Structures are given as C-alpha cells and as structure tokens.
Structure 1
C-alpha cells in the first residue's frame, strides 16, 4: 500500500505533540522517542547549551538512513540565531497508523502546504490558522467550532479537525494595582480604553479572540526589538501573551487574568483532497479520544 503523506512541522513543540500522539501506535514508541531526543539535543546545540561531539554534517549522516523509511530522516536548515548556524531538523518518517503506512513529511509551513493542496492531512499551530484565514467579527472567537465557521470557503478548503492537547494559553495579564481592578477578564476589557501590549505576530489573533467590539478604544503597543514580552507588558500595564505556568509574568509584577484562547497543535484536513478511505481512517485514528481544549466541533 502506498503511504498516506501527512505534513508536519520540522521542529519545536508542535512536532513533539504530533510525535507524542502517534507514539501509541504499534512499533512507533521507540523511533518517536529517538526523534524527540535527537531534536532536543540539536536545539540545545544550536542555542549553545550543549557541545556536539562531531560536525553538523557528520551528525546528520549518523542520524539519518534514507534507505529505511521506518527510520527517521533529517535535514539541515539555517537557523535565525546569531551567526545563522545550520540546525538539524526533522525531514521524514513512516509509521503505521490504523493499519495504514503514514509518511510524515517535514514542512516549514504545513498549514500553507495544505492550502496549496500539496497534502490532504497535516499538523500545525492553531494560532497560524487564526492569523491567516479566520474572519474578524465584533464578537470574540472562543472555540474550534468558531474557527471553522469563520473560515471563508472561498479562501481555503482547509478545516481544523481537532487539537492534540499540548495546550498553552493566550492569557490576559496586567498590573491590577495600577489598573485599579480585582479581575482581569473579558468584562474588564469591554470597558477598557488604553494601551494593550501584544507581540506583533499575534495582532490578528488577538483581534479574533477578543472581538472587535471590546477593542474599541484600545491601542496596540509592541515590545521593542529584543525586549522580553512580559517586561514590555509590565511597562504598558496590560497585555496578552502565551503562558504555561505564568512564572515569568509574575516575576515582572503581573497578575494573570482570563485565559482568552487555548493554543494547541491541530490536525487539519483539506476537504477537497480527502478522497480515499485510507486518508479517512488515518484522520479518524489520530483524532480519536484526544484530551484537548479544542474538541471536534
């Protein structure tokens, strides 16, 4: 049987979420653990937190075996960090899912690869979907049902199937004493006028999850280049940023408010490309029994 190809990120938390989700399928656990360990080590090397025992090309050759599709293959990308080092990232791997061979193929932008009809199935951050194709409305967007309902069918055939449960949150945070409020929530935002500090890459997402009505009278401000987001929010008094534990925000004197939207890796499908039973079987197997903040609509 020809493998079903699925687009996945090349590195980072979204790729780890995909690998964790697929690790429960037969014969996948060992190879998935190897990939995760390899990529974490290479990230540490790129950040200068680990010392490699060989050059990057020697490491790449040692990790990869292109002759065996059931062993992970890797490739090199130029990283954005100082010096623009080459970084070892994921390229491809075949796993069996629902008795179907599935070829995971690394892409820098899986969502856009689905939009261009290069794949029927793929994984990417839910944030990217919100930033690129979700329509902006007066009311806030709060669930996956909203996400799919707000995608213009004339714009793309891609729809979100489910989240994978690797949840962090876009959280409202601010200096409650300076603002003179007890609770930082949507009710407070409805009446707030003033500066709201956000990362520039999340502007459209924030507009979607807060809603245009609540943003009337709000001015977006942004961190200076190289400035930590939480530090910039502390200077502005109020902002929205991704949080896991919130410890960095608290260290800057910020209080955590309402979680505005869960950020997860999501499984997506291009509906016009879902033409075979094998694709449907793989989609359904991946989506089954996921503990997620973004349940199937």
Structure 2
C-alpha cells in the first residue's frame, strides 16, 4: 500500500477548522471532521472556563485517542498561554482518505515553518505568516492572495501558496471620525498622506508594511496596544489603525469608522516545490478539487 502523504496542519483554532471543512467537501469525511471539531471546541470551552468537567485532562486525552483504531484521530497536550498555563488538548494526527489519496495529517504549531525547513512537502497555515516572514516589501502595497507568490524571493524559500480556503477575515483600516478630514475616504491613499501613529498588533508590523506598501507607511509611526487592552480601544486612542474584522461591530462600538479591507487573512494550502512528488501532486489535485477558490499562479 502507498504510504500516506504527510500534510502539516494547525493544531487548533480557525485554520484547523478551515482544513477540516475543506476535507469534508472534498472527501466523505463528515463523521471524522465532526468528531475532531466537536472535541476541540469542547476542550477550548473547558480551557476558557465555559465548560466544567470532573475528569482531568489526562483522562480526557485517553478517551479521545483510541490507539487500537488506526483510523481514529489522535490528540496531544500543549500548555495554553492563558493565566495559570493550563494544559490544553489539541489535534495531533489522523490518516484520512481524500478521494483515493491517503493523507497523514500531522499537527504542528507552525506548519508554514515546517514546510520552510523541508519537513513537509504540503501543509496548511495562515496566509498572515507568509506575509510576516517571506513576502518582500515593495513601494506598492499588496491586496490579493493571487499576488503573494510573485513577492516571494525563490532564494529565500521553496514554499508557495496553492490556494486559499475561504475562511476569510480582513485586515481592515479603522479610524476615529476626528482623524478623517470632511469628505475623506479611509483608504490606502489616505494612509499615504498621513503622518501620525498607526496602531497595529506588534507581530503585524511587517505584514502591514507589505500590505500598505513602504511608500504609504514611510512617514507613519507604528504604535501598539497596551498589554491587556482591546485592539479596537487602542485604535480609538491613537486615531488610526489596522485590525482583523468580520462584521466590524466591535469597532463601531468604540466609535470607529471602517475603511478599506486591505488584505484577506485566511488559511491557505501551501506546497514546498523542492519536496514535490507525484503523490504530493495527486494530493494537491484532490485538496483543490471542487473548490470554489481558484488556484494561485505559482
């Protein structure tokens, strides 16, 4: 029997949910997907104190991981970054059949970096990490996933984006009404003429530069939320900022005006070209089959 194709996937959160949804649409895996999703949602609720249980985390882990069944998903424990550093149950591994192609899903904290170091030929992770680490900074900004590969220096990495999974939230411009002159549009051109503070999450400095372009942010000063402060509240204090949003309701609660959606933040399928093989290419074909998204030009 052909060995399964190893695929690096996130261990938890929205990106893993997006991967599971893609598997549910490209293969008959609804039961497995529901099993993993419900388990991790329950464990997240326990970690956040929204669910209580008499069983300790090791007992729950033993119940979830049935090693006698090779088709059953496996889980592991990680230290959560919440107060007290509780142990959290997260996804570890599963072998699945995806339209006749066997895939070994392997949980990683940073799947993109596992691809960069050639541990895997295929994997899923947030598009944000690609912008944060390997997309070149240019004078003009970047606003579409389809343009990402052209900004990656082939001398820096062999990893390329294949397609997005559509679990899209957006890096969005936000500002207080006082920051905007009468009749001004909150868009990229406004930022290019702005020379005040721009509030962003600390880890997103390079991403925001890539998205807005170095010309637009040349005279701006990046500032960051105080520890424990809501990003929208911090943007309201600074006057202008960039943050992820879906509906924008929290931003409006803080009196902010929503501007341009700068760049989609979504889970992407990635391939390390140096680790490609016929098996990997078959896996790519299955994982992109019947998808609504269009594959990205490599």
**Class of the TM-score when normalised by the shorter of the 2 chains:** over 0.9
Partner of 1:57: 58
Partner of 1:5: 6
Aligned-CA RMSD value = 1.3
3-state DSSP of counterpart to 1:77: strand
Structure 2 unaligned regions, length at least 5: none
Partner of 2:211: 209
Shift of 1:295: 4.9
Shift of 1:204: 0.3
Shift of 1:52: 1.9
CA deviations on 1:21-50 (whole Å, 9 max, x unpaired) are 001344410010010010011001111111
TM-score by length of 1: 0.96
Shift of 1:68: 2.2
CA–CA distance in structure 2, aligned partners of residues 176 and 230 of structure 1: 14
CA deviations on 1:162-191 (whole Å, 9 max, x unpaired) are 000000000001112343244211121121
Counterpart contact for 2:115–2:159, Cα < 8 Å:
yes
CA deviations on 1:26-81 (whole Å, 9 max, x unpaired) are 44100100100100110011111111241100100001112323211000001110
Counterparts of residues 1-297 of structure 1 (less than 5 Å)? 1-182=2-183, 183-275=185-277, 277-292=278-293, 295-297=295-297
CA–CA distance in structure 1, aligned partners of residues 63 and 218 of structure 2: 56
Counterpart contact for 1:144–1:295, Cα < 8 Å:
no
CA–CA distance in structure 2, aligned partners of residues 243 and 144 of structure 1: 17
3-state DSSP of counterpart to 2:215: coil
Counterpart contact for 2:101–2:286, Cα < 8 Å:
no
TM-score by length of 2: 0.96
CA–CA distance in structure 2, aligned partners of residues 37 and 181 of structure 1: 49
Shift of 1:278: 2.0
CA–CA distance in structure 1, aligned partners of residues 119 and 209 of structure 2: 30
Question: What count of residue pairs does the alignment treat as equivalent?
Answer: 295
Structure 1 unaligned regions, length at least 5: none
